[in-house]
Amino acid sequence: MRKSKPLIGIPADRRLLGAHYFHCVGEKYIAAVADGARAIPVLIPALGEGLDLEELLERFDGLMLTGSPSNVAPHHYGGPASDPGTLHDPDRDATTLPLIPRAIAAGMPVLAICRGFQEMNVAFGGTLWQKLQEVDGFRDHREDKEQPVDVQYAPVHSVRLTEDGLFRKLAGHETLAVNSLHSQGVQTLGARLAVEATAPDGVIEAFRALDAPAFAVGVQWHPEWKMQANDFSRALFGAFGDAARARAARQIP
């Protein structure tokens, strides 16, 4: 039976809320998939090895990896130990890091945002700076958490889009104004990832998987925030949704 809309899997965070653990995905990501990609968002619990990855690849038409307050644990990329108090999510790491390369190799469209962008880099063998603001030559890419959320998510710097890249084609011009809410960033780029956008200080802000059979990109900023009000964000989620619909159509018997 023909699907009316593709199914997009969104791996969840595992968080302790009060006395109990919950598997959570921010509403802004769910809404962007539903409205921007015109797809059905489905949360994937962070069960790590308890998930059957092959079944996930069969059932879903796309995968989106979200931002999160937690950081990828540095032992996954050979980085130094995090500062005490740094929030980690080992269950999400155990879910996403093996899933990302398998999904991309299987031709599943992938859109990775912020933490998801960092996960995708690590999944392909890349490394991360944990504190860009303490590395000579880089600006402070963090938001001011004392400001209202609309100010935190407002555009604060430009990115230059790679000539002849996918993002340049989607945008139709050379630069974008983007928000910036991260302290971690790409240190070494993962294998067979191609830069799609860079910040003025040289920080990698977007990439694509070169060998992917389908749409597979990551962005460091947050295109899901007020997606409908941003031309490029609409184009990005639209392209992701179109790729998911194409995969769904190929899988219909």
* Residues marked as catalytic: 114, 222, 224
Taking the C-alpha atoms of residue 29 and residue 109, their distance in angstroms, rounded to an integer, is 16
Strands 62-65 and 110-113: parallel
> Residue 73 has which token pair?
């644990």
- Going by C-alpha positions, the residue among 118, 108, 24, 113 that lies closest to residue 79 is 118
> Residue 86 has which token pair?
């740094």
Taking the C-alpha atoms of residue 194 and residue 217, their distance in angstroms, rounded to an integer, is 9
**Angle ∠(48,6,245) on CA atoms, nearest 5:** 120
Annotate 171-182 with three-state secondary structure: HCCCEEEECCCC
> Which residue shows structure tokens 């184009």?
235
146-183 burial, b for 16+ CB within 10 Å, e for fewer?
A: eeeeeebbeebbbbebbeebbbbebbeeeebebbbbbb
